[in-house]
Amino acid sequence: MRYESARLTGFSVSEGKEKRGGVDFNFLLLVLLLLAMGVVMVLSSSYARAYYDPGHVTGGNAAYYFIRQLLYACFGVALMLLASRLPMGFYRRYAFPFLLVTLLLLALVPLIGVRANGSRRWLGVGGLTVQPSELAKLAVILSFSVLIVRYRGRMGSVRWGILPFAGILAAIVGLLVLEPHFSASIIILALGAVMLFLGGVHLIWFVTAFGAVGAGFVVLMTFFPYASSRITTWRDPFSSSSDEGYQIVQSLYSIGSGGLSGLGLGGSRQKFLYLPEEHNDFIFSVLCEELGFIGALLVLVLFALLILRGYWIALHCRSRFDSLVCAGITTLLALQVFLNVAVVTNLMPCTGISLPFFSYGGTALLIQLGEMGIVLSASRDILEER
């Protein structure tokens, strides 16, 4: 009876003093395995650039990026375990305060943000940088989940099923465009669409949205020359292999030279200052070069297993809010893996999308592990119900 009550109200029994179950061990093991592989790949892919760093940021310390990533990974695991201990009601209760804080941080980025590569996407906090766009992805998942549960049965109407969600997306994407950060905008729009689909919005609105996206694409190609140049480069990167197409050409060389079994861990040649962002957005290219097709396939299989396990947890959650949050976080993970691999293999135009658990970056790694902790928190209630 108490479980049925929890399903109807949307609140978890675990919000009280009752003891919760253990976390989903399979999901946790896959996360830790991918994280360990990612930290090792950061060391392998970054030591050449860290040693020869022309900007003298690293001080010639070849392990500079590895040490920082290892520290972030340790803090991230601690954050994941903490997040797994908090009841799901906590995330529901503070979803909108978290959204407001995220909007405030996004609004500050164009004003006082740290500029790099022609964009302002980070806020400097002491000697550290924070990327609010990573927070925005989680904010969309949590706030949309709360609204979908709240407006259950009214998601077919414009007033309750469209306007509140469209307002949140418009505010976030509008602030991201000011940075500009189009890759994050694409992910958030896709994530919002998936959440609305899960919430039961009529398909006609998706058709309308696709039309609006098409119009937005035309505007983007017309008024943002660098975006149109990326499309041209994507279609034939070798036509400008020493200019706009340089990065993707070097990525393809790196992937191709790996062959079936790779050159061996640490054996990449392209990471010696040929391939830009080799320890960040293009770390998968180095992985293919060093571990070959077999190693790359293994990593993708592990990601697939993690994604499938995440959806399994979402399907077995006993409250709709828990299910929506788990499905949203898992979809976000799947989107980022697919888009990153698509970019480095030139399946889609080049844009800045990191590979979860692998790409160097403190904010992204901490938030990704925190999101995994939320899924683990939901899994505790599933195991308890058994």
Peptide bond preceding 180: is omega within 30 degrees of 0, i.e. cis?
yes
Give the pLDDT confidence score for residue 26 in this predicted structure. Answer: 96
Strand, helix or coil at 130?
strand
Q: Which residues contact 240 (CB under 8 A, 6 or more apart)?
A: 233, 246
Alpha-carbon distance of 282 to 253, in angstroms, equals 12
Is residue 242 in a domain?
yes
pLDDT tens profile 150-182: 988 777 777 777 889 999 999 999 999 888 888
Q: Has residue 20 been placed in a domain?
A: yes
Q: In what order do the strands lie in the sheet with 114-116?
A: 114-116, 119-125, 128-130
Query: What's the rounded mean pLDDT across residues 316-324?
Result: 94
Task: Round the average pLDDT of the chain to a whole number and report it.
Answer: 87
Residue 149 has pLDDT above 90, yes or no: yes
Query: Quick check: 237 and 249 in contact, CB under 8 A?
Result: yes
Question: What does each C-alpha distance from 289 to 32, 126, 161, 266 come to in angstroms?
Answer: 23, 37, 47, 10
Examine residue 1 and state whether it is found in any structural domain, yes or no.
no
Instruction: Report whether pLDDT(57) > 60.
Output: yes
Query: Which DSSP string do the residues of 65-122 spell out, in sequence order?
Result: HHHHHHHHHHHHHHHHHHHHHS-HHHHHHTHHHHHHHHHHHHHHHHHHPEEETTEEEE
Answer with the residue of higher pLDDT: 120 or 342: 342
- Determine the average pLDDT of the residues in 177-197: 89
Answer whether residue 14 shows pLDDT above 60: no
Residue 215 half-sphere exposure toward CB, CA atoms < 13 A: 6
Residue 338 lies in a domain: yes
**Is there a domain that residue 49 lies in?**
yes
**Tens digits of residue pLDDT in 324-356:** 999 999 999 999 999 999 999 999 887 778 999
pLDDT band with cut points at 50, 70 and 90 for residue 252: very high
Report, as an integer, the average pLDDT of 272-279: 92
pLDDT at position 275 is 93
Distance CA 215, CA 74 (A): 44
Burial degree of 77 (CB within 10 A; 0-12, 13-18, 19+): middle
Would you place residue 126 in the very low, low, confident or very high pLDDT band (cuts 50, 70, 90)? low
% of the chain exceeding 70 in pLDDT: 88
* CA separation, residue 358 to residues 80, 183, 368 (Å): 16, 18, 11
In a domain, 215, yes or no: yes
Distance, CA of 205 to CA of 224 (rounded, Å): 27
User: Is the separation of the CB atoms in 282 and 45 below 8 Å?
Assistant: no
**Distance between CA atoms of residues 285 and 256, nearest Å:** 9
Instruction: Say how many domains are in the chain.
Output: 1
- 327 or 219, which is more confident: 327
Instruction: Look up the domain containing 33 and give its range.
Output: 6-10+14-385
32-36, 197-201, 217-221, 279-283: lowest mean pLDDT where? 217-221
11 has a pLDDT exceeding 90? no
pLDDT of 3: 40
pTM listed for this prediction: 0.89
pLDDT for residue 219 is more than 80: no
* Confidence category of residue 237, pLDDT binned at 50, 70, 90: confident
Task: Report residue 119: phi and psi, to 5°.
Answer: -135, 155
Evaluate whether residue 106 is within a structural domain.
yes
* Mean per-residue pLDDT, 41-63: 86
- pLDDT value at position 55? 65
The mean pLDDT of 248-264, rounded to a whole number, is 94
The answer to whether residue 101 sits within a structural domain is yes
Q: What local confidence, expressed as pLDDT, does residue 2 receive?
A: 40
